[in-house]
Structure 1
Amino acid sequence: MASLNHNINHLFITLLIFCTFFSCYSSLNDTITSSKSLKDQQTITSNNTNFKLGFFSPINSTNRYLGIWYINETNNIWIANRDQPLKDSNGIVSIDKDGNLVILNNQNGTIIWTTNISNTSTNSTAQLNDSGNLILRDNNSGIIIWDSFSHPADAAVPTMRISTNKITGKKIAFVARKSDNDPSSGPFSASIERLGTPEVFIWHDTNIHWRTGPWNGRVFLGSPRMLTLYLSGWRLVQDDDETYLTYDFNDKTMFAILSLTPHGKLRLFEYRNKKVTVNITVGQNECDLYGKCGPFGNCDNSRVPICSCFEGFEPTNLVEWSLNNWTNGCVRKEGFNFKCEMLKINGSSEFKQDGFLVKQNMKVPDFIERSDGDQNKCGPDCLANCSCLAHAYDPNIGCMYWSRELVDLQKFPFGGVDLFIRVPAEIVADNKKKKELNKSFIIIPIVGGIGAFTLVICAYLLWRKCSARHRERHPQKSIMRGQNQMKLDELPLYDFKKLETATNSFHIGNMLGKGGFGPVYKGIMEDGHEIAVKRLSKASGQGIEEFMNEVLVISKLQHRNLVRLLGCCVENGEQILVYEFMPNKSLDAFLFDPLQNKILDWRKRSNIIEGIARGILYLHRDSRLKIIHRDLKASNILLDGDMIPKISDFGLARIVKGGEDDEANTNRVVGTYGYMPPEYAMEGLFSEKSDVYSFGVLLLEIVSGRRNSSFYNHEDSLSLIGFAWKLWLEDNIISLIDPEVWDACNESSMLRCIQIGLLCVQELPRERPNISTVVLMLISEITHLPPPGKVAFVYKQNPSTKSSQKSHESNSNNNVTLSEVHGR
């Protein structure tokens, strides 16, 4: 027994000595002291082992630089002596006698680089912490006297700041490299400017190269391509002394490196568990270049030429303008000046009011002046000030005004703000006449189809006008009271008789389609306005639950890729929703029709794919509520007169609270077989990755021109997903492309879309990209796509399965139907 106790004591002492040694080694391994220097070929490592400090050489260079890197040398996040390289391997890092951290040439003792802090303590240490920050600390006071995060190179990492001191004007800015293999300071730099409405500027030497537009607490208004997902965790802080922008992740398995490239672009590498999940470069087109079209010149990259003048303006120098030299911009036409004084009109003094041209999806000009206040005050306040040239509004910024030349104007395909440009009253009147003239020649697009969008019902407004006796006759309306009154009060109310007249008594000849909710009819109102009327069928498998769900879920949403609700009717026991009419019906009416699919060339299909993705992005990220659609399919994508896609049918949609990875569970699995991801169909689990899966199916259908649920092209009866996966593994994926649209010039774009589709239908939800990443992939800002993993598909279609497609072989005409698969 004594021998046993002796052995235990000996083991305990050994472990204690080992632990003590390991602890000492760990603490020394991340620190440089006055007695411990760092030589070339040596490194110190942060305590969490994620970061290292040491000397390195760029590719094709023998110069030596002291740097910090994440995981490996290729992920360099900081460089000390970027402009004072060592020419050999004789460098050494140490604490100098004055307490500064220095890089010395070990052969001659020459100081190559120093932290250059005055009044330092002679007793200091430098430590590489777990954030990748190299900290120089005064050991006597414990105060940090210098750190690498405050002296960045070309890269920002979590908790690092880009800042401007309001008092001294001192900036923490980022400076790009000269080239990928030359880390010395290049001509491009990034800093935070315009502290009243802060935004990030990228400079080329002393000239503004590009700017993000102001930060509104969530996004940069002038940078819609910098999507919300990649701004998650960012925050802008305005202290008394300093304005700074920083970011961090709640999920500590994530890390990111945002760098300024040698060409003045932003590049983001995002990691999860030390593996790259995102590699994106935010490119710049010509219109992104600061002031490309000069003062008052509007830049639109989708037009040729890209620069134009607004109504009431003309080129400052017509000769230069004709030669595509737009730097002098536009000026007001002669005679079109502001009317800020009383004018004699018809012998009496009247105030002839100026007005505004409304330009949508605009980048806000530079030099913003702002004021707090309601949106309705922006216009009147601007008109009351003769020096005010334009105004705009953002809920988080307030009213924005411009009193100098409008510089750096740009028209975006999406995002931006509505910019109101001040013009004389005659310009407004002329513009109004032109619009009215155009309306007489253009068929107004409205909704068609079954699932429509954005529903709110004003039954309560009707009830308030009805007698108690009338309410007793319609007890089913009582469900629309209570907490839903606020929603219902906001809907326009349609008269049943007028809807009946508009649809010719709901004549079968006006039926656009029929789905689970009931039939949808085309209607023409007395004023010639075309509408789509969705009428709840008495025998419908759906009912008031789906009806009210659309109301409560999406009553406030507006987006160009979502169908718009016009109003409702709840008279005579009816439950009717009225939508904008879509003259081109639904996507499947074109896509799967052998005669109609020729109309959908690749350009149209590509635009449809991107439009659907942007609609989903709005639902998942940019709307006030996070919404999962749960029934995305070709028949629920409607097409307006310009073939712009509109997502419809939100009867099955759900609001989801929480983060992007949050899942919800339902005992009632509803949707369309073939578009459901396996985790939803089998277990009732849905998340935003459910919609991503459905979008992936849609994408493959659009590229191939074939249905997923009726694709039989193999002895094993593979679905379209299974067949695509088989072709991918055989390196023959080009065979999937619809012969009607195949074009060698667009082959790479088509193959890219197929790969994105396969990434979206991967079996495991966590492996699928979120919709923000999908949009970036589609617009080619993620240059390298990862290979897809195992996809989810079914080999044999089970004929007994209840499907929302009653006939897989028939073409749908907005036939939104419903299937229920009860999960285990």
Structure 2
Amino acid sequence: MGKMQLFLFRFPEIVALITLFFLAQPSSSGDTMIQNTSLINGQTLTSTGDLFQLGFFSLDNSSSAKGYLGIWYCNFTLQEGIVVWIANRNKSVNTSMASFNLTSDGNLILFEDDQTVWSTGTRSTGLNSAQLQLLESGNLVLKDSNSILWETFDHPSDSDTYLPGMKLGFDFQTNTSWRRVSWKNSTDPSPGDYIQMIRALPIPDLVTLKGSAKYYRSGPRNGYDGFVGHPFMTSSQGANYFVVTFVSNENETYFMANYTASPTPVLIRTMLRANGTLQRWFLDRSGKREWQLLLSTPADECDEYNRCGRNRVCTKKYVAVECQCLDGFINITENGSEVGCERNKPLNCSSNEFSKVQNVKVPDTENATPRGNMSLDDCKNLCLNDCSCMAYAVISGSYGCITWPGDLLDLRTLVDEGDDLYVRIAGELDHPRKNSTGRRILFIVISIAAALLFLCAIFIYRRRTKATRPRRKRLAKTFDHTDQHEIRGTESLLFDLEAIRIATDNFSDRNKLGEGGFGPVYKGTLENGEHVAVKRLSRSSGQGLDELKNEVFLVAKLRHRNLVRLLGCCLESEEKLLVYNYLANTSLDKFLFDNSKRKHLDWARRFKIIEGISRGLLYLHEDSPLKIIHRDLKASNILLDANMDPKISDFGLAKLFDADQTQGNTKRIAGTFGYMAPEYGIHGLFSVKSDVYSYGVLVLEILIGRKNSGYQGSEYPIELVTHVVWRHWTQGSVFQVIDQDLIEQCQTQQILRCIHIGLLCVQDDPIQRPTMANVVLMLNNHFVGLPTPLAPAFLSNCNTTIESNGVPRRENSSRRKGILMKISENNVSISTLEPR
């Protein structure tokens, strides 16, 4: 056989070898692949802004060659939550034997050895024009000269992650949905048990399914930034950088969020975790590259679908879930368990009364009917004219009037959000008609009862008027003449000693909540059933008439959700009693400085406490009728209600300022070491910035979970901010001292910001410290820049005297005279309730 014959005989093999040679060439470059090129292990495509990469990776961080082909964020460790798309999530490959190829006919194929593991199944219509590009959005797009052949954003079920620009919804033309499917676990990305999708109904809901059962439901669209139980973003979280789109027509229904600018200074991603939790993460690209958790649903037990059963409302309390029947309904049980509520009397078509349920995520809309935009009255009339209508609501900016037939499912209360639901109840028209004689008898009985009540009211009024006169005299004898003009405004605050004795069982030890330097505190129950806390000032207490007057005359005039409520006082038989609203969750220090209870203070609660204290102080300094300096802000003076909302208490040492007054001076120092601003402790100078200093110390305590240190030796108190936080802040190791339970909650950016704000508040120079208005702004707007903090103040000792010429002079403890120190010890507090 000649050479030419041999060449012709071997020509097909030579062509095949040449083809395989080109297919195997690692010809990837930048963000694009062209036809007849491939990627192998160790090679990647990178988007133009270096935000995303495509390539092979392993999830178990082992030496195993098993891995996946996918897309992840550049410059982040490959782990669950950073990988945003996987081609072969159902089957791992041996990455040393795998290749990712764009063929000559425009098909994407993932090979393991000679086996096809995954393919798009596409074919280009143009000659040699197909190319694959990884966009800066994270979308992997296969296109030719005529059209887009395939893209990852159109196949989101290959991912558990939602990125801006993706659709979430339903395509009616192809009968397919854009949805998210969870991983099985953190090292197995194969499809798990949970699916997130838009339920394509007349009223679309964002739902999470576990198998085919509902696990979480967002509620209807709120008309502007998402769904009522699942908002997309708030302004403080970068909403200005996003636009939210909702499209619903005969072809498709979908929800999509997208960036408003490119490149964007912020990033956002949402992932459906293997346990069914939906998490939204946010990253500020101008700061440290750390993801911040913004939203997690289900947020609590009430977010679980239909947690309380039919016709019940779920409300999350601090330690438990409360399920309540709607008005007109009673509990029903099956097999010994409560499963919901049913009507206490049947409805008929003439029932025309409605019970209003405020601020709720409205019931499941699967069987509801959208009626269009109309007024509340028109919606009510429409429901009245429909015998099957059991409830209605008007949701502004969304579907307008909505009506529900049958049972109402998955109702929960929301705080400062939600809609009002009107539930049809059996009214007067549903009662059997009474004859005229019965009506006359009922009228006579009611008239007699009203007359008796009127006579009783006159009798009680006269008795109280008599009792008030001696109390007014007792109050006048207690306070000096300069206070007499205040007495008339406090008469309504006076309690009878006998009533308090009855309420506290004669100050029984059984009702004793605790004891501080001022005296004991007792829990009491008034005649009307209201629970109160009674502070009984002992004769040996350092707090006397001045402090009591402050409490009565100042606090009684203040009304704010973050201030404790004083109910009144009693000044009989040499007793000095203060009566407060009872708060079930004690004072902050009982949680913060107890290793077991501190675990109840997750980051969300701690931030709520930090923010609530700041708003309470802002009210005292700028927004209340009186300008007040507290002077004794500390953890034991922060009370917590049943919802863990903070209440500032103990105004016995507070000072009242004139509207234009900025600073005061005193020789009677009052407060608590460790929280006391140095200019006040040394020179007796106090202002709103004195409270700001105390607030800063308190913020750092909340973040670290440790008391402000006491004394070392006899002179030098070691202050937390000076010797611990500041040192670690300057060394870049501040996370070493933060409560480790907080570190695990992935809120490092917000925690660092709070530490920064705390250090700004405890700076040595009062002028450099922010006002509380600035603190509130900095806490709630992450895009407000923070100045660099200067070294914090250090109150080295308090052995200081103010001379007649105003110059401070150091003295030893035996010679201290000029300033009268009235210090509240930091270790004195009440074991169960601190109503100060």
How far residue 87 of structure 1 moved from its aligned partner, in angstroms, is 4.0
The question of 1:237 aligning with 2:237 is answered no
How far residue 183 of structure 1 moved from its aligned partner, in angstroms, is 1.1
How far residue 32 of structure 1 moved from its aligned partner, in angstroms, is 0.9
1:662 is matched with which residue? none
Instruction: Map 1:653-668 to 2 at 5 A.
Output: none
Distance 1:586 1:306, change over 3 A: closer
1:147 is matched with which residue? 151
Distance 2:349 2:478 in 1: 53
How far residue 126 of structure 1 moved from its aligned partner, in angstroms, is 0.3
Distance 1:608 1:254 in 2: 23
- Return the letter of the residue paired with 1:276: E
Distance 1:290 1:704, change over 3 A: closer
Find the residue that maps to 2:121 and give its secondary structure. Answer: coil
Which of 259, 272, 287 does residue 284 from structure 2 map onto? 272
Distance 2:402 2:676 in 1: 45
1:260 is matched with which residue? 272
Find the residue that maps to 1:389 and give its secondary structure. Answer: strand
Which of 118, 121, 127 does residue 116 from structure 1 map onto? 121
Distance 2:94 2:747 in 1: 49
Answer whether contact 1:155 1:259 (CA < 8 A) is retained: yes
Answer whether contact 2:700 2:758 (CA < 8 A) is retained: no
Paired residues in the alignment total: 589
2:425 is matched with which residue? 423
Answer whether contact 1:612 1:647 (CA < 8 A) is retained: no
Instruction: Map 1:303-702 to 2 at 5 A.
Output: 307-316=323-332, 318-320=333-335, 322-323=336-337, 326=339, 329-333=340-344, 336-341=345-350, 353-358=352-357, 360-362=359-361, 364-367=363-366, 368-370=368-370, 371-375=372-376, 379=380, 381-397=382-398, 398-412=400-414, 415-425=417-427, 522=490, 524=492, 584=580, 610=605, 613=608, 616=611, 645=645, 694=695, 697=698, 700=701
Distance 1:364 1:136, change over 3 A: same
How far residue 100 of structure 1 moved from its aligned partner, in angstroms, is 2.1
Answer whether contact 2:361 2:413 (CA < 8 A) is retained: yes
Distance 2:119 2:610 in 1: 53
Distance 2:229 2:274 in 1: 22
Distance 1:619 1:725, change over 3 A: closer
Find the residue that maps to 2:93 and give its secondary structure. Answer: coil
Distance 1:677 1:266 in 2: 47
- What is the CA deviation profile of residues 497-542 of structure 1, one whole-angstrom value per residue up to 9, with x for unaligned ones? xxxx9x989x88999xx9xxx999556499x999xxxxxxxxxxxx
- What is the CA deviation profile of residues 313-332 of structure 1, one whole-angstrom value per residue up to 9, with x for unaligned ones? 3445x242x246x3xx3322
The question of 1:282 aligning with 2:282 is answered no
Find the residue that maps to 1:29 and give its secondary structure. Answer: coil
Find the residue that maps to 1:722 and give its secondary structure. Answer: helix
Distance 1:66 1:259, change over 3 A: same
- What is the CA deviation profile of residues 52-84 of structure 1, one whole-angstrom value per residue up to 9, with x for unaligned ones? 111122216643321011124332111112124
The question of 1:794 aligning with 2:796 is answered no
- Return the letter of the residue paired with 2:425: V
Find the residue that maps to 1:282 and give its secondary structure. Answer: strand
How far residue 103 of structure 1 moved from its aligned partner, in angstroms, is 1.6
The question of 1:164 aligning with 2:170 is answered yes
Distance 1:96 1:525, change over 3 A: same
- Return the letter of the residue paired with 1:69: W
1:576 is matched with which residue? none
More strand by share: 2
Distance 2:676 2:204 in 1: 44
How far residue 631 of structure 1 moved from its aligned partner, in angstroms, is 9.6
Answer whether contact 1:192 1:200 (CA < 8 A) is retained: yes
Find the residue that maps to 1:158 and give its secondary structure. Answer: coil
Segments of structure 1 that go 5 or more residues without pairing to the other structure are: 1-24, 342-351, 434-439, 441-500, 531-557, 565-581, 621-626, 650-666, 679-689, 738-745, 776-788, 813-824
- What is the CA deviation profile of residues 594-618 of structure 1, one whole-angstrom value per residue up to 9, with x for unaligned ones? 9xx999x969996999498279489
- Return the letter of the residue paired with 2:99: I
Instruction: Map 1:101-112 to 2 at 5 A.
Output: 101-105=108-112, 107-108=113-114, 110-112=115-117
How far residue 265 of structure 1 moved from its aligned partner, in angstroms, is 0.9
1:63 is matched with which residue? 66
Distance 1:283 1:669, change over 3 A: farther
Distance 1:641 1:93, change over 3 A: closer
Distance 1:608 1:104 in 2: 47
Answer whether contact 1:608 1:644 (CA < 8 A) is retained: no
Distance 1:231 1:728, change over 3 A: closer
1:94 is matched with which residue? 101
Distance 1:757 1:130, change over 3 A: closer
Answer whether contact 1:43 1:54 (CA < 8 A) is retained: yes
- What is the CA deviation profile of residues 3-51 of structure 1, one whole-angstrom value per residue up to 9, with x for unaligned ones? xxxxxxxxxxxxxxxxxxxxxx999321111143212222122222222
- Return the letter of the residue paired with 1:282: S
The question of 1:809 aligning with 2:819 is answered no
Answer whether contact 1:362 1:412 (CA < 8 A) is retained: yes
How far residue 120 of structure 1 moved from its aligned partner, in angstroms, is 4.1
Distance 1:248 1:640, change over 3 A: same
How far residue 97 of structure 1 moved from its aligned partner, in angstroms, is 2.8
Answer whether contact 1:32 1:95 (CA < 8 A) is retained: yes
Answer whether contact 2:360 2:419 (CA < 8 A) is retained: yes
Distance 2:629 2:377 in 1: 37
Find the residue that maps to 1:149 and give its secondary structure. Answer: helix
Distance 1:206 1:126, change over 3 A: same
1:292 is matched with which residue? 307
The alignment's TM-score, normalised by the length of structure 2, stands at: 0.54
Instruction: Map 1:15-26 to 2 at 5 A.
Output: none
Distance 2:712 2:493 in 1: 47
Answer whether contact 1:30 1:45 (CA < 8 A) is retained: yes
How far residue 178 of structure 1 moved from its aligned partner, in angstroms, is 1.5
Output the aligned Cα RMSD: 6.5
Distance 1:611 1:163, change over 3 A: same
- Return the letter of the residue paired with 1:248: Y
Distance 1:773 1:702 in 2: 17
How far residue 272 of structure 1 moved from its aligned partner, in angstroms, is 3.2
Distance 2:629 2:256 in 1: 38
Find the residue that maps to 2:96 and give its secondary structure. Answer: coil
1:762 is matched with which residue? 755
Distance 1:48 1:753, change over 3 A: closer
How far residue 632 of structure 1 moved from its aligned partner, in angstroms, is 10
Distance 1:393 1:521, change over 3 A: farther
The alignment's TM-score, normalised by the length of structure 1, stands at: 0.55
How far residue 762 of structure 1 moved from its aligned partner, in angstroms, is 2.5
Distance 2:599 2:65 in 1: 52
Distance 1:50 1:764 in 2: 31
Answer whether contact 1:338 1:354 (CA < 8 A) is retained: no
1:722 is matched with which residue? 722
How far residue 391 of structure 1 moved from its aligned partner, in angstroms, is 3.3
- What is the CA deviation profile of residues 241-290 of structure 1, one whole-angstrom value per residue up to 9, with x for unaligned ones? 44322243768343233211111112344333361141467253443332
How far residue 93 of structure 1 moved from its aligned partner, in angstroms, is 1.7
Find the residue that maps to 1:37 and give its secondary structure. Answer: strand
